[in-house]
A = this chain, B = another copy of it.
């Protein structure tokens, strides 16, 4: 049996009780933290809190060499952990399909995702979000500025009045995390200087949620990662109230959006 368990967003207590129980019952526990990571728990914190040993795998150890994981899962209970929800990432769908191909039972225990938190923390309604995008570091993208695929998706969402979650690049192996301020500066260059919401440390007890024009967000320091941005489309009245109360949105920016 191979059970994919999402750890949620923040620390060793962000996992569901069902996930924790499955984790503790497993004979072998593998994890990866290169697609995302827990903001406030080390591997050692997880091991201590749940009284388990964790075998942390790098990208190569998951994507190129998952043989020993699959072999163990043929006869034992194996748990595979990631931050957020495990099945959001293509990599792990591939691992699941390889397991099924060998006749291994698989199961998914979901975790809270940044998408859920982005909607909940901003007060923007989940059914009014369009396609999400990821903004890469310029060096990862191979060019300055914002990829056309990102600006095109944002524009297509806005044409339909929809909000966009902008995930920010994570290079965990280099300990680099694109900051909301840097992302806002990049976007302000390629888009109009529109209203945006910076969300820092979603899922933590004390997340930062701040709405302002992109050029103003570019000047701010939102503290420790992880960060993301939300670019709102048309705002309903309650959404405007939420951005004012939860994210300190400037009144003139809300009026500007409202009158579009």
Could you say which interface size class chain A belongs to? 35 or more
Cβ proximity bits A8-40 to B, threshold 8 Å, 1 near / 0 not: 111111111110110000000000000000000
Q: Which residues of B contact A126 (CB under 8 A)?
A: 88, 113, 115, 132
Chain B residues in 8 Å Cβ range of A88: 116, 119-120, 125-126
**Interface: A127 (CB within 8 A):** yes
Tell whether A111 is near chain B: CB-to-CB under 8 Å: yes
Q: Across the two chains, which residue of chain B brings its CB closest to A111?
A: B112
Which residue of B17, B120, B245 contacts A86 across the interface (Cβ within 8 Å)?
A: B120
Which residues of chain B are near A87, meaning CB under 8 Å? 119-121, 123
A90, CB-defined interface residue at 8 Å: yes
The stretch of A100-108, A140-148, A176-184, A252-260 that contacts the partner chain? A100-108
A246 at the interface (CB under 8 A from B): yes
State whether B17 touches A20 (Cβ < 8 A): yes
Task: State whether A130 and B131 are in contact (beta carbons under 8 Å apart), knowing that A14-B18, A90-B238 are contacts in the complex.
Answer: yes
Which of the residues B14, B108, B125, B160 comes within 8 Å of A120, measured between beta carbons?
Answer: B108
Copies of this chain assembled into the complex: 2
Contact call A10/B18, Cβ cutoff below 8 A: yes
Contact with B along A93-104 (1 / 0, CB 8 A): 110110011000
Contacts of A130 in B (CB 8 A): 130-131
Chain A residues within CB distance 8 Å of chain B: 6, 8-18, 20-21, 85-88, 90, 93-94, 96-97, 100-101, 107-108, 110-113, 115-117, 119-121, 123, 125-134, 156, 160, 162, 167, 203, 205, 238, 241-242, 245-246
Which B residue's beta carbon lies closest to that of A241? B97
Closest to A113 in B: B116
Given A160-B156, A238-B93, A242-B93, residue A17 in contact with residue B17 (CB < 8 A): yes
Bound state CA distance, A9 and B10, in angstroms?
19
Cβ-defined contact, B246 with A100, below 8 A: yes
**Residue pair B10, A13 in contact (C-beta under 8 Å):** no
On chain B, the residues within 8 Å of A115 by CB distance are 115-116, 126
How distant is the Cα of A32 from the Cα of B93 in the complex, in angstroms?
34
In the complex, what's the smallest C-beta–C-beta distance from A88 to chain B, in angstroms?
5
